[in-house]
Amino acid sequence: MHSSVITFPGSNCDRDVDVALKKFGFKNKMVWHDDVELPKSDLVVLPGGFSYGDYLRCGSMASKSKIMKSVLNFAQGGGKVMGICNGFQILVESGLLPGVLLRNKYLEFICKNVFVKVNNKDNSYFKDDKKDIYEFHIAHNEGNYFCSNEQIKEINDNNQIALFYSDENGNINEQSNPNGSLQNIAGVFNKQKNVLGMMPHPERMIDPALSGEDGSIFFENLINNLK
Amino acid sequence: MKISVVITLKKDVLDPQGKVIHQTLDGMGFEDINEVRQGKYFEIDTKENDKKKAEAKVDEMCKKLLTNLVIEDFKIIGSQ
Amino acid sequence: MKISVVITLKKDVLDPQGKVIHQTLDGMGFEDINEVRQGKYFEIDTKENDKKKAEAKVDEMCKKLLTNLVIEDFKIIGSQ
Amino acid sequence: MIVNEQLAIDHGLKKDEYKKICDLLKRIPNITELGIFSAMWNEHCSYKSSRFHLKNLPTKGKNVIQGPGENAGVIDIGDNDAIVFKIESHNHPSFIEPYQGAATGVGGIMRDVFTMGARPIANLNSIHFGSPQHKKTKNLLRGVVHGIGGYGNCMGVPTIAGQTSFDESYNGNILVNAMTLGHVKKDKIFYSKAAGLGKPVIYVGSKTGRDGIHGASMASASFDDKIEEKKPTVQVGDPFTEKLLLEACLELMAGDSIIAIQDMGAAGLTSSSIEMASKGNLGIEINLNKVPCREAKMTPYEIMLSESQERMLIVLENGKEEMAKKIFDKWNLDFAVIGKTTKSKKIELYFDEEKVADIPVNTLVENSPMYNRKWKKAKLPKKIKIEKEQFKTLKVQNVLNKILSNPNVCSKEWIWQQYDHTVMGDTIQKPGGDAGVVRVHGTNKAVAASVDSSAVYCWAHPLSGGKQIVCESWRNLISVGAKPIAITNCLNFGSPENEENMGEFVECVQGLGEASSYLDFPVVSGNVSFYNQTKDIGIKPTPSIGGVGLIKDYKNMVTMGLKASDNIILVIGKTEGHLDQSLFARDILNEKNGPPPEINLFNEKNNGDTILKLIDKKFIKSAHDVSLGGIITALSKMCIKGKKGVTLKKPNYLINQFEYLFSEDQGRYIIEISIEDLENVTKILQENSVHFDELGTVNDDNLIIDDKTKVSIDDLIKSHTTWLINYMGN
Ligand SMILES: Nc1ncnc2c1ncn2[C@@H]1O[C@H](COP(=O)(O)OP(=O)(O)O)[C@@H](O)[C@H]1O
Ligand SMILES: [Mg+2]
């Protein structure tokens, strides 16, 4: 399986996700934002970080970079594109995913473990998942998912919600919403479900010595699904 | 010329920052505030000296980059 | 009434955001920009209906909370 | 502008210093030269009041690759790996503009580390605020925390530990000390010593603006009523540009074109160029028209004194300019050849074809003033006779609750949850433990770091306080299973011109030196911040110690959370019941006098070394050092972390229960072991003549102190976690 991780100026989880992809069997290439062509890939990952310093709006300037044209084409042709954290923000700004990520409700950066509930397993990201509820790590200042009333209706009608913030038993409620996201949304798909954006960082949980190991389960499953 | 633009959150988008500022001001004794809304302000200095053309350019910049029209509105408020 | 205030970085203070926005716009083909400066914008809706008094209040809010005069200036740009 | 004595005084120079400048130059300096002298000779850059004493600190050791004198210290951790680290203050700017002040402090220390070729792998911070009731405290705290997070998070460097305290002596002068650790291959360390003649001098990074002109002088002046006038010297940080600068520098460093590299910190282009020339014993010539400027019409004076952030100066091998420029172009950063090295041993500046400065380098560095200032020795305060009668009115549970929720003890999660502490994927001990721990990427090794200070002890008796703080740092590293290697220190004091404040400095440094020498825990880098005061009143003396240690196999790391019921809890080290200057005495009894606890360096070393042996043999399930708030406070934190309780044994001690539980005797640890290991552990402890007591047994749900006192884990958590959240919440 071939994957590509795009490095934008200010990306800072590009190495982390490279480590994770390789650990679970991907042949990964790093791709520079200023390149025009994507290498042949089964999966393209937009990593976390602070592309362009998160200035103006998170992801807004990265969404204009050269490589994004290729990413757009790739996605429109059904290619798998996954955005984590800042990558999610870039996908939203580039129009590949609906909605927008606003500043966290309590106006503070949050770095901690949370639980997320998988909503839709009918896609290559979560198909045959052993788990319904993952313990993942979040680290962001702008993860407060928002969209218009029409959009949210469409998202629900198309079953586009990927992950909800929940408690460890899968209850989706205000207490388990760390950042004020609409309907506790932690991740969404595009209509075709080949593009996924999510705030949590599975790549930070791939080793028993780290915050947890649910990320390993996610990546193992992902590569199996793509095979 | 220099074009000034104001970008504000759409009415139905929550503005937590404005809310906190409101509360803080309230706590400081500024008690008769109804609402505080926060937005962004840009001054764009362009080489274009024709006001119409300059404003049209800035309008385009706003649509293409400076605002996210899902949540924000913009308004050119001055040109000099 | 509603008072609008603009807060800008002082002239000699670095505006990292403005700088990067400028570069990005440039890359998008907006090539004749000299400079972009980013600031903040506030709309403060108060119960005070006397324009002078309302502005004086907002002036005080700016000095006490909204701006840090070390690096920023503010200007009331409208009252309605 | 005419240069005269008055102008020199306005630049913060003393009359005789101005005279010395004229004598050294054999003429009156011009305005640019005066600016350069004032920047180089102020306290912040010249260490004129502290050098005399700092030279006594132990700075060598078998693991030390580079001690003080470079951008940061470097230690050897084996296998061609080295750790670069340093701590630095950004106190004054943070008081004026908390967000930007703290942010640029973090940015500055990271540059110090990556200048040496190291990729930053961890940040720490030590922050001190005025009394929580003081009207400025809350906003300062919020601004500082946002600033530290804003910069560090954007850089993608995890903030893994820190320290936060409140004391009214910081009401008008907060402290913000930032520390960074970086990892480098031992054979790829870069230094600031220029070499070779006619080598191009390169400027890279952000453009130069008018920001922060005279920032270094501000850091060397105290706050007074004229604080407003000092305002324009605050800089705005640009973490995005710094991230690009980091990547670009590391990319260039992968090759072999750099002769010397130096970040532009305090006093910007002035100190960076002069330091490189001075260390290389040569001259530098700069054409100031070549310096990338942000504003039009900047003068040589402004260009030389600007403290714009995110800039570096490099001496390159000839012919490598094009290749280097390509890298900086790729990262969208300015790159300019601005001068060359010369044999003149002078700093020569040109602007608009004119020579605007011509100063022998040694007059700025070696001939800078050094003072052996007057200082007053502090007497050891008399021990307080505490009336034990008053204990009868106290209930253990209430006291414990009060201590756990004390601002200086309570959980700082509200703070560190705003710092990205897991980015880079190697953080194996997050904030909230005794030390933060990160793996050395791709290896089995891990590095532990902790930052500590105890201003109250230092204030009560600087010599003991200085020793204590080094020991506390040592203990924090031991507690996570790391072998302590070296320290960095940030010495925050009042005015050196005040004999008492100067005395505090001298004796703290002496204590610090004694302890680090005895423990073989040398000082490899540091920073002095004087003039921390409001009007004439100095802050409590606050040396912050940043300790770094090595865990050879990260799987052997220890945490403080209790692990399993029925395990045995031991206290290592002797409990004598020293209450003077303890949190109990100050907070509960309202008794602020008396001596701090005594430090016994022999026991300290012996206890620490023995704990490491036990860890090596995998006997220790959890460990925590005993500090503020005594045994019961430490034990409560272990209960909270592990969500387990402990049933205490009745102590076979003659001292009172409050003395037993809350005294702050030094050199102690609490460890958890399994019953089966008790015999072996006891044997090792006895063989090493380590005093220990059996404290109790782990249970599932309550901290049971005596027949009458039983506290649930939930109550402990509540006491510990609510204060800061409530305080910041409204
Ligand atoms: N400003 C801060 N930044 C990051 N972590 C912090 C900060 N302040 C406190 N902490 C963390 O909170 C925990 C408690 O701190 P402290 O009470 O000083 O520890 P102890 O006394 O147990 O050594 C430590 O793990 C420390 O790293
Ligand atoms: Mg500790």
Tell me the three-class secondary structure of A116-180, residue by residue: EEECCCCCCCCCCCCCCEEEEEEEECCCEEECCHHHHHHHHHCCCEEEEEECCCCCCCHHHCCCC
Lowest mean pLDDT among D16-30, D206-220, D269-283: D206-220
Mean pLDDT within D97-124? 97
Tokens of B50: 């024709």
**Residue found by looking up tokens 């220190």 in the block:** D489
Q: Which two tokens stand for residue D284?
A: 């530098």
- Residue pair D113/D180 in contact (Cβ under 8 Å)? The answer is yes
Retrieve residue D271's tokens: 């100190």
Interchain pair B65, C41: CB under 8 A:
no
More confident site: D524 or D265: D524
Does residue D90 carry a catalytic annotation? yes
C-beta of residue A115 within 8 angstroms of C-beta of residue A134: yes
Cα–chain-centroid distance for residue B50? 23
D236:C15 CB<8 A: yes
What is the distance between the alpha carbons of residues D498 and D707, in angstroms, rounded to a whole number?
A: 53
Instruction: Assess C40–A contact: CB distance below 8 Å, yes or no.
Output: no
B69 touches chain A (CB under 8 A): no
CA angle (A92, A95, A98) in 5-degree steps: 60
Amino acid at A82: M
Q: How many residues does chain B have?
A: 80
> In the structure encoding, which two tokens stand for residue D240, read together?
């995005």
Q: What distance in angstroms lies between residue B49's CA and the mean position of ligand 2's atoms?
A: 64
Report pLDDT digits (tens) over D129-147: 999 999 999 999 999 999 9
Q: Which helix (H) or strand (E) holds D470?
A: helix D462-479
Q: Which two tokens stand for residue D512?
A: 């610090």
CA of D415 to the centre of ligand 1 (A): 9
Q: What is the pLDDT of residue D650?
A: 87
Comparing C-alpha atoms, which of A177, A206, C69 is closest to residue D439? A206
3-state secondary structure of D198: coil
pLDDT digits (tens, 9 = 90+) for D40-64: 999 989 999 999 999 999 999 999 9
Is D192:D276 a contact under the CB 8 Å cutoff?
yes
Nearest by CB to B70, from A56, A64, A147: name it: A147
Bridge partners (DSSP) of residue C77 are: none
The Cα–Cα gap between A95 and A190 comes to: 10
Query: What is the bridge-based pairing of β-strands D73-76 and D81-89?
Result: antiparallel
The pLDDT of residue D222: 54
pLDDT in tens, D691-717: 999 999 999 999 999 999 999 999 999
CB contact under 8 A, A55 and C17: yes
Q: What is the pLDDT of residues D59-93, one digit of tens each?
A: 999 999 999 999 999 999 999 999 999 999 999 99
Mean pLDDT within D148-155: 97
| Residues of chain A under the 70 pLDDT cut | none
pLDDT reading at D213 higher than 90: no
* D231 pLDDT higher than 60: no
Residues contacting D706, CB < 8 A, separation 6+: D396, D648, D650, D657
Burial class (CB in 10 A: 0-12, 13-18, 19+), B32: exposed
The CB of D432 under 6 Å from ligand 1? The reply is yes
CB distance A55–C21 less than 8 Å? yes
Predicted-assembly ipTM surpassing the 0.90 threshold: yes
Compute the nearest-CA separation of B14 from chain A (Å). 9
| pLDDT of D534 | 86
B20 Cβ under 8 Å from any chain A Cβ:
yes
Six token digits for residue D405: 């929720």
Verify whether residue A33 is a known catalytic residue.
no
Tokens representing residue D713 in the block: 């884990």
Q: What Rg, from alpha-carbon coordinates, does chain B have?
A: 16
Domains and CATH numbers, chain A: 2-226 (3.40.50.880)
SS3 helix, strand, coil % of chain D, rounded to 5? 40, 25, 35
- DSSP, collapsed to helix, strand or coil, labels residue D477 as helix
pLDDT at D220 over 60: no
Facing D418 at nearest CB: one of A54, A109, A201: A109
Q: Is the pLDDT of residue D216 over 60?
A: no
Q: What does the alpha-carbon distance between residue A223 and residue A227 come to, in Å, rounded to a whole number?
A: 6
One of A13, A58, A85, A147 is an active-site residue; which one? A85
Of all atoms in ligand 1, which is nearest to the CA of residue D164?
8
pLDDT over 90 at D373, yes or no? yes
D128 is catalytic: no
Residue D643 scores a pLDDT above 90? yes
Nearest-CB residue to B38 (from C32, C42, C48)? C42
